[in-house]
Amino acid sequence: MQPWPWWISGILVGFTVPLMYVATGNGFGISTSFQQIGAMSSPRSRLAYFRNFDRRKGLWTLMFAMGIALGGFIAANFLTAEPIEFLPASYLSIGGAARLFIGGILIGFGARYAGGCTSGHAINGIANLNLPSLLATIFFFVGGLAVTWLLGFLIF
Amino acid sequence: MSSTLERPPEKHQSAMAVARSEKVTATTKKPITPISKTTLLFSLLIGVYFGVVLTKSEVVRWQRVHDMFLFQEAHMYLIIGLGIGVAMVSMWLLKRFQVHSFATGQRIEYKPKPWHSGVVIGGTLFGAGWAITGACPGPIYAQIGGGAWLSLVTLAGALVGTFLFAELKGKLPQ
């Protein structure tokens, strides 16, 4: 069965939030792992954003990220008959890599500036009725729709 | 870790010397956040679970994200919407019955993310990156694990973006 239907997927995605709280005591979120990696790679950084980050407390974000990668490996290799096309073939080029790099910068910068990403803001935040998270999610879509509809002819 | 910190003093040491050495460690070392092995283990396991769900639901595919922003299919909207709904009901129940985390023993509490202009500016930039790369942070890791090595470029970009934010944080409107 490929892919899982939206309702199974949606229920399982939603359950990640209470699972994380009950089993680890932490709020579901992924982009903090970027700050953790930054803080671990420059522990005596002159940048307060890394220097003042509690690297021990944040270690779980890195474990979570590695788990997600492992989950991707298991799903792609053992739970799927046909190979999954993660990225379109056109991205396997210099131009494609450049797009991924620039897009990646926007993801890292934007998620940390906004204080969270799709997991921390859109799912965990809205589920906890946090108004700034609802606004963040609206602007995730403002940015994504603007790029797709207004600049799409240049990018895709 | 704790065994080395709590090692009993050598027998021949005098009480004064012990008191002195304790004072030295207390003043020179910052308080260390204990690392819960339960938290780390379950973070990894929940990560595996979430990675499988992201991959099997195809949320990790660029095409799915692109079709979402083009309004060509409802798949992503339905998954995100239902995910929020299930999480909302779960959180209501956890708070209603004052459930405690078994890793920390403390009552489960949501720490609200604050409002500031970064929510709008950062949020818009993040959305743009999501549309271009077809991945948000979770799927970036799942793509790499799934064998899409090109996504290492996306991750490298995201880390550069994080360093850029750390560098500019003081100058950005908050």
> Could you read off the pLDDT of A143-154 as tens digits, one per residue?
999 999 999 999
Three-state SS at B100: strand
Question: Does A100 contact B145 at a Cβ distance shorter than 8 Å?
Answer: no
State the number of CA atoms in the 13 A half-sphere of A95 facing the CB. Answer: 6
Task: Record the tokens describing residue B133, joined without a space.
Answer: 């790369």
Which chain B positions have a beta carbon within 8 Å of A92's beta carbon?
150
Which chain B positions have a beta carbon within 8 Å of A77's beta carbon?
146-147
Residue A67's closest chain B neighbor by CA? B47
Residue B39's closest chain A neighbor by CA? A24
Which chain A positions have a beta carbon within 8 Å of B122's beta carbon?
109-115, 136
Question: Does B49 contact A71 at a Cβ distance shorter than 8 Å?
Answer: yes
Question: Does B162 contact A108 at a Cβ distance shorter than 8 Å?
Answer: yes
pLDDT in tens, chain B (174 residues): 444 444 444 444 444 444 444 444 444 556 677 788 999 999 999 999 999 999 999 999 999 999 999 999 999 999 999 999 999 999 999 999 999 998 999 999 999 999 999 999 999 999 999 999 999 999 999 999 999 999 999 999 999 999 999 999 999 998
Question: What are the angstrom distances between the C-alpha of A137 and each of A3, A116, B87, B129?
Answer: 25, 10, 16, 14
Closest partner residue to B145 (CB to CB) among A14, A72, A137 is A72
What pLDDT is stored for residue B29 in this prediction?
Answer: 57
Q: Cβ of B63: how many Cβ atoms within 10 Å? A: 15
Closest partner residue to A47 (CB to CB) among B133, B166, B172 is B166
Instruction: Tell me: pLDDT of A76 over 60.
Output: yes
Answer yes or no: is the ipTM higher than 0.90.
yes
Q: Is residue A97 exposed (0-12), middle (13-18) or buried (19+ Cβ within 10 Å)?
A: middle
pTM across the whole model: 0.89
Task: Record the tokens describing residue B141, joined without a space.
Answer: 């890791």
Tokens 């271009």 locate to B132
Closest partner residue to B154 (CB to CB) among A9, A79, A100 is A100
Cis status, amide bond into A3, omega within 30 of 0: yes
State the number of CA atoms in the 13 A half-sphere of B111 facing the CB. Answer: 8
* Spatial distance between the Cα atoms of B113 and B157, rounded to a whole number of angstroms: 24
Exposure letters B70-105 (e unless 16+ CB within 10 A, then b) = eeeeebbeebbebbbebbbebbeebeeeeeebebee
- Helix, strand, coil share of chain A (percent; to 5): 70, 0, 30
Question: Does B132 contact A100 at a Cβ distance shorter than 8 Å?
Answer: yes
Nearest to B6 by CA among B20, B17, B23, B22: B22
B123 touches chain A (CB under 8 A): yes
Average model confidence (pLDDT) across chain A: 96
* Spatial distance between the Cα atoms of A70 and A15, rounded to a whole number of angstroms: 19
Q: What is the mean pLDDT of residues A96-119?
A: 98
Nearest to B68 by CA among A41, A6, A70, A119: A6
* Spatial distance between the Cα atoms of B84 and B78, rounded to a whole number of angstroms: 10
Question: Does A10 contact B103 at a Cβ distance shorter than 8 Å?
Answer: no
Question: Does A111 contact B115 at a Cβ distance shorter than 8 Å?
Answer: no
Phi, psi for residue B107 in degrees, rounded to 5:
-65, 140
* Spatial distance between the Cα atoms of A143 and A122, rounded to a whole number of angstroms: 14
Distance of residue B68 Cα from the nearest chain A Cα, in angstroms: 9
Task: Record the tokens describing residue B65, joined without a space.
Answer: 């994200």
Question: Does B43 contact A63 at a Cβ distance shorter than 8 Å?
Answer: yes
B37 touches chain A (CB under 8 A): no
How does DSSP classify residue B171? Answer: G
* Spatial distance between the Cα atoms of A24 and A18, rounded to a whole number of angstroms: 10
The answer to whether B60 touches B142, Cβ cutoff 8 Å, is yes
Q: Which amino acid is at A123?
A: I
Question: Does A38 contact B162 at a Cβ distance shorter than 8 Å?
Answer: yes
